[in-house]
Each structure stands twice: as structure tokens, then as C-alpha cells.
Amino acid sequence: MKLFFVGFGNVGRELARILVRKADYPGLADLDVSVVGITTGRRGALASETGVDLARALRELDEKGRFTPENPDYSELDSLKAAENLDYDVLVEMSPLSVEHRGEPAITHVRTALERGRHVITCNKGPLAFAYRQLRKLADEKGTAFLHETTVMDGAPVFDMARCCMRGNTIRRIDGILNSTSNYVLCAMEQGMTFEEGVKGAQAEQIAEADPSHDLDGWDASVKIVALANVLMGADLKPDEVDRESMAAITPERILAARERGFRVKMVCSAWRERESVKASVKASEVPMDHPFALVDATGSIVRFETDLLGKILVTEEHPDITTTAYGVIADLYALVSGNR
């Protein structure tokens, strides 16, 4: 399979490292892929019909901060032109999410690939949160795959489990703790830190961005719960339709008072059916100490599906890192190869 990477940030680079060191992972022996193009916002682009030299690409970024014209694979193509013109089998969309631009330009990249009859794997949540129904319809019309395991809970098999192991079920409700930054800050405040100290700790651990407002104001969690609802509940929600609560009003006193009463404060994302529609929220909620959500510490995540036939099913992860996120793309590649899409 020939892959085209849109974006080459932390996830893209880790995926490239895994592919370069594929011999170190016996389970990947049958994964036969090459990367024929890489485009970035500010670090240049590479393209090669026979496959980009990934080891050199990684080395250039480490040493020079960008791709250089001395590289024989160097290209002047931007992401859209590359999506329109390169000969690839799978577009892997890894550009940064833009809530302000309502998922663009990622949506255009995805649409362009699907219109050409190419498969798409997206790590970017924007296409699911702002245009899932249209893109899913286009993929079905073209007979191509539109996969997205990495968009929620890194590489944990959230969508894959629902698709493969919950067939015939109707998902009535989804609840989860889906944003690591907010959960880290809440856990820090439980230990007596201030809100600001918790944020600085999350940034020091490279969990939070330099500007963590999207996490702390609930936008990242809103995008994720909308992605889940749109894909798994047939919703057509947008992130600005989520009943969203910011962490700004949560004080250490509230958190400690909840602890004394036997509860932990968690930012819980929820989506539920209400008559013929689906509603969603991101709220600071008090959960009992014996609840599975109360066991999720620091960087962990959890999602619970409430179904009509299987009852309540949970998926949880502890201490995810960039490798687990990159694995989500690999899982989607295997789904493509196996026809399980």
C-alpha cells in the first residue's frame, strides 16, 4: 500500500519511526507499505513514486527543523495539490485540528482523496466532528474506506470494537473521560495544587499544549464526544451544539469537599438519545469512589457504551503515549488489508 501523510508532527514521526524499525516488531512483518508523500504546514514536503526515505526525513527534521532542497525527495507540493495529484492508496490525515475553521483544511483533504477513490485514515477529529455524515456518504458511494481509530483515546480499539464486536446493538448512551489535560489538572488539584500549578504540571509532562485553552474550556472533549456520537449513534452533531462546561469554575475547595463526601470530580463527556435526536454534554461531574470513572488517574481515559443487547461495555487505557497513538493508524491499515472496514 502506498501512503500519503498529510502532516508530520509527533504522531506522523512516531509512525515513521515504527515503519523504519519495522524489523523490531515481529507482529508487523506482513505490513507492506511505503510512504510516497509527506506534506507539512511549515517544514516543507517530500514526494517519491518509489517511496520517501523515512530515515532521512526524520533525520532532517531532527537536525535542521525542516525538509531541505538537498533531499532528492524534496517537493514544492502543498497538501491539497499532493492530495489531488500524487499516486497513493491511502491518505493519512494528521494535520492539526482547527475548531475555529470548523475542521478545515482537513475536511477538504479527506474529501479530495475520497473523490479520487482513495482510502482515508484520519487522526484529525475535525472531519468526524464537522462533516462525518457527508464524508461517510461519499466514501460509501466510492467504495472506499474512511477510518479513524486514532481520533478518540489514541490507539485504543474504540471504533474497532464497536464495529466488529457490537454488531446488532443499538448504542443508547456514551459516557467517558476523554481529555487527558483536564483529568491531569483535576488529579493535581486533588493533591492540593492550584489550578495554575496543575496546568503547568501538565505542560511539563507534555500532556498540555502551550495554549491549553481548548482542553480546559472543554472544546477537545466536545469534539471527541461529537465524533463518537456521529459515528456510533448516527448523530449529526457539531461541537458548538454540545452543552459544554469550562474547568475555570472548578476550585480546589470543591474537589476536596467532594472527596470528603466519597466522590471525585471528573470532566465527563456524554451523548444520549432523546426522542429522535442525540444530545451531548461535557460537564464537571461528581462520581462515587467505586465507579469505574473514579479509577481513571492523570493521563488515563475511559469510555462506556450503554447498549440494548450487551448492556454496559467499557474500554479504558492507562498512560497512553505517542506510540499508542501511532498504533491507531496501524490498526486502521490492518483493517483495510483485512477488508474489515
Domain of 214, CATH number, reads: 3.30.360.10
Pair (15, 101) in one structural domain? yes
Query: Alpha-carbon distance 233 to 273, whole Å?
Result: 8
pLDDT of residue 209: 84
SS3 label, residue 191: coil
Q: Tell me how far the alpha carbon of residue 279 is from its chain's centroid.
A: 21
pLDDT of residue 11: 96
Q: How many C-beta neighbours within 10 Å does residue 66 have?
A: 12
Q: How many C-beta neighbours within 10 Å does residue 258 have?
A: 19
| pLDDT tens digits for range 55-106 | 999 999 999 999 999 999 999 999 999 999 999 999 999 999 999 999 999 9
The residue segments making up the domain with residue 26 are 2-155+322-338
Average pLDDT over residues 292-302: 94
Average pLDDT, the chain: 96
| pLDDT tens digits for range 79-89 | 999 999 999 99
| pLDDT tens digits for range 244-258 | 999 988 999 999 999
| pLDDT tens digits for range 175-225 | 999 999 999 999 999 999 999 999 999 999 888 888 899 999 999 999 999
pLDDT of residue 205: 87
On whether residue 194 sits in a domain, the answer given is yes
Pair (145, 201) in one structural domain? no
Q: How many C-beta neighbours within 10 Å does residue 4 have?
A: 26
| pLDDT tens digits for range 109-146 | 999 999 999 999 999 999 999 999 999 999 999 999 99
Please tell me the pTM assigned to this model: 0.95
> Which three cell numbers mark 184?
491531569
Smallest CA-to-CA distance from 87 within 55, 43, 117, 53 is with 117
Pair (215, 273) in one structural domain? yes
Average pLDDT over residues 9-17: 96
SS3 label, residue 276: coil
Pair (6, 139) in one structural domain? yes
Pair (199, 276) in one structural domain? yes
Pair (177, 106) in one structural domain? no
Average pLDDT over residues 43-48: 97
Pair (103, 194) in one structural domain? no
Q: What backbone torsions phi and psi does residue 295 show, to the nearest 5 degrees?
A: -85, -5
pLDDT band per the 50, 70, 90 thresholds, residue 266: very high
Please name the residue that has the C-alpha cell 501512503: 3
Taking the CA atoms of the chain, what radius of gyration do you get in angstroms?
20
pLDDT of residue 206: 84
Smallest CA-to-CA distance from 229 within 199, 261, 265, 270 is with 270
Q: How many C-beta neighbours within 10 Å does residue 290 have?
A: 8
Q: How many residues does the chain have?
A: 341
Where residue 28 sits, what CATH number does that domain have? 3.40.50.720
pLDDT of residue 188: 94
Pair (143, 185) in one structural domain? no
pLDDT of residue 67: 97
pLDDT of residue 239: 97
Pair (175, 42) in one structural domain? no
Average pLDDT over residues 148-155: 95
